[in-house]
A and B are shown apart, each in its own frame.
Chain A
C-alpha cells in the first residue's frame, strides 16, 4: 500500500554548507527520518509560496520548528528577544487555516504548536525567562541543545490531563527535551492538555473538533520517542480511507 504523504513545513533560509553560502529550501533530516520511521513519506513544503493547493496532495502535515512568530499576529509589540520570519509566518498561517478547514491530520512541533494557537486567535509569551524566571526551556546558546548527550538544560517532565488524545498517546506524564524561549499564553481554539509541572508552561495542545490536531512544545523528532509522528501517520491513513 502506498504510504501516506506527509508535508513538512520547511525553511527558506540562508545556509552554509561546504564552501557554499546560499538561500536554500531546507529542513533538518530528523523530521524526515521521523516520518519515514513511522510509515509515512515526507515531502518538504517551502514557505515562499502563498497558495494552499498543495494540501490537496497531502494526507497529513507537520508544522515544524523554526523562528519566532511575529507578535503583530496577536496585536502585541515585539519583545527585544523576538526574531521573526514573516514570510514563513504568512505561508504557515494560510496553510494551517486551510488544513483546519479541510480536517487534514496535523502535528505541530515547537513553533508549529505556537502557530496552532496564533492561527486560531490565541497568543504567545514572547520570552519565557521573563515569565518563569529561569532558562530551563532553552539550552545554552551555541550548543546543540537537542543532542543525546546535551546537558540537563532543556529537559523536564510534562503532566497530562486525563481523557484527552494526549493522555491516550503518552499516559499521565513523560520527560521531554526542550528548546524554546517563547510559549503559548492563550491557545486560541485549541485546548491545553499538557504542562510543565514546575512552571505550568503549556507543553501540549489538541483540537477536539479535528480528526487529528496535536501540538507539542518539545522536539520528538530529536528523540527515540516518535509517538506523535506515529499517531499522525495513523490518522493520515485513517483520513485517506474516509476520503476514498
Chain B
C-alpha cells in the first residue's frame, strides 16, 4: 500500500460545466499529480475544525498554498492587502499542531510554510512590497517570480535541491520571524524561502511552489518519509 498523503484544501465558490459559483472544496490538481508521481496516494482534506482524527489514517501531510493567515494568530492588526479565510486557519492549525505532536511528515507550501512559522511562534511580513520595495515574489496576476535561492550548507533543503536552486514564487507575504524553526533557504533579497524543524523527522516549509513542476525532489522526500511512517505504524492499524 502506498503512503497516504493528505492535502489541505480551499473552500471557494467554483464555476464549471452547468454550475456557477458553487461552494466547493478544491486544490490545484498539480499537488495531487506531484504526490502521485512521487509514489504516494493523495486525499484532499476539506477544512474541518471538529478534530484531527483523520491523521490516524494519514502517513504524511501537505499544507497547501492559499489565502493569508489571520494576523491576530501572530499578534498583529491586518494590513489592507491581507485577505484571510479564518475557517481554514482554524482547521489547518489544529491539524498542524496534532501532526507535529505525532511527528507526522509535513511539507508546507507557500501559505503552508507561513502556517508552520506561525505555529512555531513566529510572525509574518503582511505585505512584502512595503518591506522589500519590489514585486519579485509576485510579479503579477498568475505570474510566478523565478529566482535563484541560496540554501544553508548541510540542511535538508540544500541536499534535496542539489545543483538547481531555481524557485518559482507567488506570494505577497513572507516570514519575518521563524519562531522555533530554522531558516535554511533565502531569496537573493534575503527573504526566508525555506524553513525546517531539525528536531522532527520531516518538517519542511518552502515559500515557492514546487507542485507546479511536480518537483520529485521535495514531494519524493515527503513520500519517502511517509513510507517510513507507514511501515513503522502499520501494526496499529
Q: Which residues of B line the A interface, CB within 8 A?
A: 1-2, 4, 6, 9-20, 22-33, 36, 41-46, 48, 50-51, 53-54, 56-57, 141-142
Residue of B nearest to A66 (CB): B17
Other than the known A28-B22, A53-B1, what 10 A-B pairs have Cβ atoms closer than 8 Å?
A15-B24, A22-B28, A23-B28, A25-B28, A25-B44, A27-B24, A28-B19, A28-B23, A32-B25, A144-B20
Q: How far is the CB of B142 from chain A (nearest CB, A)?
A: 7
Residue A162 CB within 8 A of the other chain: no
Chain B residues near A19 (CB-CB < 8 A): 141-142
**Interface size class, chain A:** 35 or more
Contact with A28, one of B2, B24, B48 (Cβ below 8 angstroms):
B24
A72 within 8 A of B: no
| Given A19-B141, A19-B142, also A49-B36 (CB < 8 A) | yes
Point out the residue from B29, B41, B46 that lies within 8 Å of A51, measured CB to CB.
B41
Contact assessment for B142 and A41 in the assembled complex, using a CB-CB cutoff below 8 Å:
no
A42 at the interface (CB under 8 A from B): yes
Query: Is A46 in the interface zone, CB < 8 Å from B?
Result: yes
Contact B141 A5 (CB under 8 A): no
Identify the closest chain B residue to A26 (Cβ): B26
- Chain A residues near B (Cβ < 8 Å): 2-3, 5, 7, 10-20, 22-30, 32, 36, 41-46, 48-49, 51, 53-54, 56-58, 67, 141-142, 144
Given known A-B contacts A25-B32, A28-B22, A49-B36, A16 and B15 have beta carbons under 8 A apart: yes
Residue numbers in B under 8 Å from A45 (CB-CB): 43
Q: How far is the CB of B213 from chain A (nearest CB, A)?
A: 15
A142 to B11, CA, bound (A): 22
What residues of A have a CB within 8 angstroms of the CB of B48 in the complex? 32, 36, 41-42
Q: Are A54's CB and B44's CB within 8 A? A: no
- Give the complex CA separation of A25 and B44 in angstroms: 8
A15 in complex: contacting residue of B15, B42, B54, CB < 8 Å: B15
Q: Report the Cα distance A27→B12, complex, angstroms.
A: 11
**B25 adjacent to A44 (CB under 8 Å):** yes
Most chain A CB inside 10 Å of its own CB: which residue of B2, B12, B31: B12
Assembly CA distance A16 to B20 (angstroms):
9
Question: Is A17 within 8 A of B18, CB to CB?
Answer: no
